[in-house]
Amino acid sequence: MTNTEKTPGIKNENLHKVIQIRNLTESTYVLKFTRNNMQFRAGEHIIAGLKGEMDQREYSIYSGEDDDYLEILIKEVKDGNISSKLKQCKEGDLLDVNGPFGSFGIEKFDMRSKKHIFISTGTGISPFHSMVRSYPDLNYTLIHGVRFSKEAYENEEYDQNRYILCTSKEKVRGRSGRVTGFLTKFRVTGDMLFYLCGNGNMIYEVFHILNEKGIMADKIITEVYF
C-alpha cells in the first residue's frame, strides 16, 4: 500500500486499520496502522483512539513522511484508559484517527543552514524519530534522557555519532545523569536551533539552561508531553 491509497473496504478516512504492534519494553510499544492518504510534516501529532470509543489522546507521529504507514510511540500508563486499550489491539482492529495537528517541526529554510539539536525525555523522542527518518541528510544531534538504557527506544536507527543517551538510574559506557546535567557542559554555537520535547519540568529547566548560555527564545522550539 502506498501513502496515497485508502484502507480497502473502509469509506471513512478517519478509520485506520492496525497493521502491527511492536513491543519495545514491558510498557512501551509502537502502534503501526494504515496511512489513509494522510499527509503530514515530521513533528506534527494526531489524535487517536479505538473506533467507537470517546477516549482519545494526542500522539506525535513516529513514522517518516515518506513511509506508506503511520506509527505512534506509546508508553502504557498504569490505570490509563487509552494506552492500555491500544496495547491490546490486534491486526485488523480499527482506530479513529484525526489530524495531523501542530506546528512543531523544522522550517524548510533552516533545513540545511542550521545545526538541529533535539532534546527529549522518554517517548518525547517520537517526533525526532520522524524528523530523522524523513530528512536523512539532516545535520542533527539527538540528546535523549531516560531512566534506564532499555528505554533508548530503537536507538540503532540513529547515527550513533549524533545520538547521546543520558540515563538517570544507571551508568552506560561510563556516563550517567540527566539531560539537564549534560547540557550544562554542552558547547553551543550561533548556528544551532534547539527542539525540546518531553515533560514540562524538563522543558522549563532546559529552556533556563539555554538562556543562561545566551540562546534566545526564538531559537528554542518546544513540544510539551504531559
Range of the domain at 63: 15-101
Mean pLDDT taken over the chain: 92
Cross-strand partners of 60:
45
Question: What share of the chain has pLDDT > 70, as a percent?
Answer: 93
- Please, which pLDDT band fits residue 171 given cuts at 50, 70 and 90? confident
Strand order in the sheet with 28-34: 57-60, 45-50, 94-101, 15-23, 28-34, 69-75
Structural domains in the chain (count): 2
Q: Which residue has the cell 500500500?
A: 1
Please report whether residue 62 resides in a domain: yes
Domain boundary among 101, 132, 147: 101
**pLDDT tens-place string over residues 107-134:** 999 999 999 999 999 999 999 999 999 9
**pLDDT tens-place string over residues 1-36:** 334 344 555 557 899 999 999 999 999 999 999 999
Cβ neighbours for 156, distance < 8 A, ≥ 6 positions apart:
none
Q: Which residue has the cell 536523512?
A: 136
- Please, which pLDDT band fits residue 184 given cuts at 50, 70 and 90? very high
Cross-strand partners of 117:
141, 194
Contact 187, 193 (CB under 8 A): no
Amino acid at position 81, single letter: N
Domain boundary among 101, 135, 159: 101
Q: Are residues 36 and 74 in the same domain?
A: yes
Question: What share of the chain has pLDDT > 90, as a percent?
Answer: 85
Element (H, E) at 204: helix 200-212
Q: How many CB atoms lie within 10 A of CB 180?
A: 18
Q: Residue 3: its pLDDT value, please?
A: 40
Q: Residue 179: its pLDDT value, please?
A: 94
Q: Residue 81: its pLDDT value, please?
A: 84
**pLDDT tens-place string over residues 31-89:** 999 999 999 999 999 999 999 999 999 999 999 999 999 999 999 988 778 999 999 99
Q: Are residues 112 and 151 in the same domain?
A: yes
Q: Are residues 140 and 96 in the same domain?
A: no
Residue 225 has pLDDT above 80, yes or no: no
Q: Residue 2: its pLDDT value, please?
A: 38
Q: Residue 176: its pLDDT value, please?
A: 78
Q: Are residues 192 and 88 in the same domain?
A: no
Question: What CATH number is given to the structural domain containing 137?
Answer: 3.40.50.80
